Amino acid sequence: MDLPSQTFTDAPGEPKLLIGESFPWFAGHKRTVNCSADVGNPQSVYQWLIGGQKQMQKKSLIRINPLSRAHNGQDISCSVNNNYTLRNNITLKPAILKLNVEYYPEIRFDRFPVYVVEGENTSITCNTRGNPLPNTQWVTNGIEMTLQQQNQSVLYLTDIDRLVQERTYTCKAISKSSKYGILTINKDLSIVVFYNTSVTKLEILNGSKFSENQRATLRCQVTGNPLPNVTWYFISKETKQILQKQDGIVDSNYTINTTNCLHTGIYECSAQNTVNGAKVTNSMQTELYVTCSPRLDNRYRNPPAIVNTDIGTDLNITICFVAYPPPEIRWVFTNTIESTYFKRTIRTYTSTMYIYNITSSDFGIYTMHAYNNNGDLFIHVSVSEKGKPTAPVDINIICKAKSLHILWVSEFNGGQEQTFFVEYWISQKAKNITKLGPIMDLGKSKTVKYVVKGLSPGTNYSVRISASNFKGRSVSETMNCITDFELNSKIKQDTSNDLVYTGIAMLSICTTLSVVISIIFFIRFKRNAHNSIMNSTNDNSSSQERHDSFGSFPQNGVEETTTERNVDEHKYEDFTRQRTGIYNKCVWNATNDDSSTLLSSGFLEIVEQNKEDTESFLNIGSSETGN
C-alpha cells in the first residue's frame, strides 16, 4: 500500500555579505554585493537597506552604481525570510557591512567672495573634508602662506591694499590613500577690495592753447572701487557749471567741438564713489586757453553807458571782459588815467576805475581801452550829475464815453527813482486841472498804462503826463481827446383810438428813416472825432518816425511793453540805493546751469515776449461800451 507524499518546509540560513573587491572603494566606481544564505523551503525573499533606505532589489545580488562620497560610512544590510519564517514568527539576523568609500577632498570657505575695505585687516578660513582626512594649506602665487593643518587652515591678511585683489590666493587640500594614491584639490579665493576713488591723470590732448573754431578734447583717468562716477565742471568765480556726467567708468573724455573765447578757463574732473557707506570725492583741474581779442564777457551784465551820480560821492566803474593773451589796459578821460585797479579772476579780466569825492570837473566820458596782439576793446562810460527825469514819450489815448485809457513809455529816470502823475482837464477849462497818482515806474522803455474814469460823454479833454524824482519834475506834451456820445433814443407812440392803423403805418416809416439817418450821422461824427485826435497827436508828437498813425500803435505798443528792461537800467536802479557806486564788481548774468548754453551761446539772455496784456488793453474799445 503506497503512503501519500509529504512536503517539508524549513527556514533559510542566516545571510552573509560577500563583496567582489575589498575596501576601500572610490567614489564614482561601480560595485556589487552578494547576500549568501542557505536555501529554505519555500523560496527565500531578500530585503536590502543602504544607509537605512529600503532598496527595490529583492534578489541576493545588489549593484551600487555609481558610488558617491555620501555612501562613505553608511551601512548596507541584507535580510532573508520566507513563508515559513513569517508563519512561525521567526526573525533571522540580517547581515550588515559598513561601506568605506574614498573621494577627493572638498573645500569650503567661511565666506565667498571676500569683501574688504583698503587698510583693514581680515581673516579667511578654509574648511576641508574628505576620506582619507585631508591636510589643508594656503598658497599665494606658489608661495606657502600657512602650514598644513588637518581639515582647516586660516589665512590672515593685515593692512590690505588694492593690490590684494590682483593676487591669487589658493586653498590646497591633500589626502593620501593607501589604495588610490595622493588625492589633491585646489580652490582659488576671490577677494574684492573697496578703496577710495582718485583722479590719476587729467590732460588736454594736443596742448592747452587753441585758436578759435578748433576742436579740443580733455581726458580724465580715475581709479576706485566701486567704479566712480565722473563729473566735468567749468569753474567760474561765482559757480561751478556742470558740463558732463558719466557713471561707473575709469576713463572719461570731454570734447569742445568749436572753441571760442569764452571757453578759456579752468576745467575740473571730479570722481566720486561710496566706500563703507561714506561718499568719497577726488578731483583735478587744468586750464585751457583760447586766443582772442579783448571782448565783453556776456556772461556778466554789460557796463552802463551812462552813470548819474551826485557831487561829493564816490564811484567805482568795473568792466568785465575776456581775452587771451593777457591784455594791456588803460583808462582815458582828458588824458590817460593811472589810478586804476586791475585783476584777473580765473578767465575773466576786470578793470575798475575809482573816482573819489566827485566834483563837477569829474563829469564826462571815460574810456577803457584793452588790447592784445589779437585786437582792441573800447568801452565808453558817460558820468554826469543826477538830474530830473526825462518827460514820458509815445503817449497814446483811447477815448471812451466816460473814461480815458492812457499808455506811455517811460524814459530815463535821471539817475534815481521816479514816479508819474496823470493830469487832465476839460480843454475849455484849463484852470480846473485834476492830478492823479503817484504811478510807479516800471523801468526805462517799459510801457505804463492808466485808466481815468468818471468823465463826461462828448467832451474834449486835455491830458499830460509828468515824471518826478528828487531832483525835479518834467512834463510831457499835452494830448487832446474827445469822449464818445451816449445814445438813448425813446420812441413815443400816439395811442389815439381814432388813428391806430394810420399811426402804426406812419410810425413804422418814420422809425426806419430815423434809424438810418441816426446811424449815418453817428458814423460821420465818430470819424471826424477820430481824425481830430490823430491830427492833435501828430502835431504835438516830438518823434513822428515812431508812430506814423494812431492805427499803427498796437503793434509798436506791444513790442515796447514786452521789451525787458536793459542791464544798464538795472545798474542805474541799484546805484541810486547807496551813496557809493556799486559798479566795482561783475554781476553774473546767467540764469541757466546747462553747460552747453554756458559755453556755446555765452549766456545770452533770452527774453520771452508776452503780448497778451498790452493787446487786451489796446482792444478795450471793442469789448466795452458806455464807460
CATH assignment at residue 482: 2.60.40.10
Q: Which amino acid is at 487?
A: L
CA dihedral defined by 303, 308, 312, 318, rounded to 10 degrees? 0
Residues 158-183: tens digit of each pLDDT: 999 999 988 999 999 999 999 999 99
Domain shared by 412 and 492, yes or no: yes
The reply to whether 119 and 264 lie within a common domain is no
- What dihedral angle (degrees, nearest 10) is formed by the CA atoms of 201, 205, 208, 210? -160
Q: What is the pLDDT of residues 96-154, one digit of tens each?
A: 999 999 999 999 999 999 999 999 999 999 999 999 999 999 999 889 999 999 999 99
pLDDT at position 561 over 60: no
The per-residue pLDDT of the chain, averaged, comes to 80
479 and 409 assigned to the same domain:
yes
Distance, CA of 117 to chain centre: 32
Collapsing DSSP to helix, strand or coil, 530 comes out as helix
Quick one: the chain helix, strand, coil %, rounded to 5?
15, 45, 40
More confident call, 444 vs 426: 426
pLDDT tens-digit map of 427-472: 998 888 999 999 999 988 899 999 999 999 999 999 999 999 988 9
Q: Which residues contact 427 (CB under 8 A, 6 or more apart)?
A: 460, 461, 462, 480
Overall residue count recorded for the chain in this entry: 627
The answer as to whether 280 is a domain residue is yes
276 burial type by CB count under 10 A (0-12 exposed, 13-18 middle, 19+ buried) = exposed
Establish if 298 belongs to a structural domain.
Answer: no
pLDDT for 275 equals 96
513 assigned to some structural domain: no
Q: Which pLDDT does position 516 carry in this prediction?
A: 59
- By the 8 A CB rule, do 147 and 67 touch? no
Q: Which of 189, 208, 233 is the last residue of a domain?
A: 189
Residue 294: asked if its preceding bond is cis (omega within 30°), the reply is no
Task: Tell whether 177 and 88 lie within a shared domain.
Answer: no
Q: Are 89 and 47 within one domain?
A: yes
> For residue 599, what pLDDT is reported?
33
* pLDDT tier, 282 (very low <50, low <70, confident <90, very high otherwise): very high
Q: What is the pLDDT of residue 571?
A: 33
Q: What is the structure's pLDDT at 515?
A: 61
Q: In angstroms, how far apart are the furthest CA atoms of the chain?
A: 177
Residue where one domain finishes, among candidates 271, 290, 309: 290
Domain boundary among 166, 189, 212: 189
- The DSSP call for residue 550 is G
**pLDDT recorded at residue 550:** 27
Same domain, 212 and 285: yes
Name residue, grid cell 594656503: 138
* Percent above pLDDT 90 for the chain: 56
Q: Are 583 and 278 in contact (CB under 8 A)?
A: no
pLDDT over threshold 70, residue 560: no
Q: What are phi and psi of 236, to 5 degrees?
A: -125, 175
pTM strictly above 0.85: no
CB 548 within 8 A of CB 538: no
In the β-sheet with 191-204, what is the strand arrangement from edge to edge?
114-117, 191-204, 216-225, 251-256
Same domain, 270 and 409: no
Instruction: Give the model's pLDDT for residue 369.
Output: 93
Joined grid coordinates for residue 266: 579752468
pLDDT of res. 5: 54
Number of domains comprising the chain: 4
Give yes or no for residue 591 having a pLDDT over 50: no
Which residue range(s) make up the domain with 141? 104-189
**What pLDDT is stored for residue 436 in this prediction?**
94
Q: Over 80: is that where the pLDDT of 493 sits? A: no
Domain-embedded: residue 569: no
Please report the pLDDT score of residue 184 as a whole number.
Answer: 96
| Weakest mean pLDDT among 270-274, 529-533, 545-549 | 545-549
Does residue 581 fall inside a structural domain?
Answer: no
pLDDT at position 391 over 50:
yes
pLDDT of 304 reads 87
Claim to verify: residue 75 and residue 155 sit in the same structural domain: no
In a domain, residue 70? The reply is yes
Residues of 331-344 as b/e, b for ≥16 C-beta within 10 angstroms? beeeeebeeeeeee
Note whether residue 512 is domain-resident: no
Identity of residue 70? A
Q: Is the pLDDT of residue 51 over 60?
A: yes
Are residues 185 and 110 located together in one domain of the fold? yes
Q: Are 147 and 84 in the same domain?
A: no
* 619 SS3 class: coil
Q: What is the mean pLDDT of residues 570-595?
A: 40
The larger pLDDT score, comparing residue 347 to residue 365, is at: 365
Do 436 and 558 reside in the same domain of the chain? yes
Is the same domain home to 282 and 248?
yes
- Residue 354 inside a domain? The answer is no
Number of neighbours of residue 283 by Cβ within 10 angstroms? 18
Q: pLDDT, tens digit, for every residue of 186-243?
A: 999 999 999 999 999 999 998 999 999 999 999 999 999 999 999 999 987 667 899 9
Instruction: Tell me how far apart the alpha carbons of residues 124 and 358 are, in angstroms, rounded to a whole number.
Output: 81
Measured CA to CA, the distance from residue 77 to residue 95 in angstroms comes to 5
pLDDT of residue 240: 86
Peptide bond into 132 cis (omega under 30): yes
Q: What local confidence, expressed as pLDDT, does residue 415 receive?
A: 82
**Residue 338 confidence (pLDDT):** 58
| Segment among 284-288, 431-435, 521-525 with least mean pLDDT | 521-525
